[in-house]
Amino acid sequence: MSEAALRQLIVCAGNRIAAACAQAMEDFSASQQGNRCEFSMSEWLDETQFRQAALLWIVDDSQPWNTVHFALQNQIALLVPADNIPMRQLCINASCGVFFQDAADVRACLEFLLTNEVARTRMGANGRAYVTPYFHQGFRPITA
């Protein structure tokens, strides 16, 4: 298996990267041996690339609903700031992700999500199950 295949893609979404998120990215990347994760903004990816993501990380207090719906539809777990109330509530209601308070929390969440494929996969499946009824009613969000 190639080194690129071993890396996990973390898709980031938001209007600006909050300071705690930027610090967590730097710390987490520095702590990884073998460069096993890659961060990319959602708007830099096409749909095929996005579908390969290990998770979607909301990096600020925005609510990028179309991006989130695309992630959930494709069974991608969420990582969101605790002070982003709508996103946090979505994670609670759908059991589709985790939320964080600060840079230390983000690092712990990233470590948990990237090393626990069963939990991450379950959250992704929960997210898809949560949004599926909306698609059957004719709702189609704009894709990522």
pLDDT tens for each residue of 90-117: 999 999 999 999 988 998 999 899 999 9
Query: Radius of gyration of the chain from Cα atoms?
Result: 14
Predicted model pTM: 0.85
Phi, psi angles (nearest 5°) of residue 138: 95, 0
Tokens of 61: 């207090």
Taken in order of first residue, the domains within the chain and their CATH numbers are: 3-136 (3.40.50.2000)
CA distances, 109 to each of 21, 24, 90 (Å): 12, 10, 17
Please say whether the beta carbons of 3 and 31 come within 8 A: no
Asked if pLDDT for residue 143 goes beyond 90, the answer is no
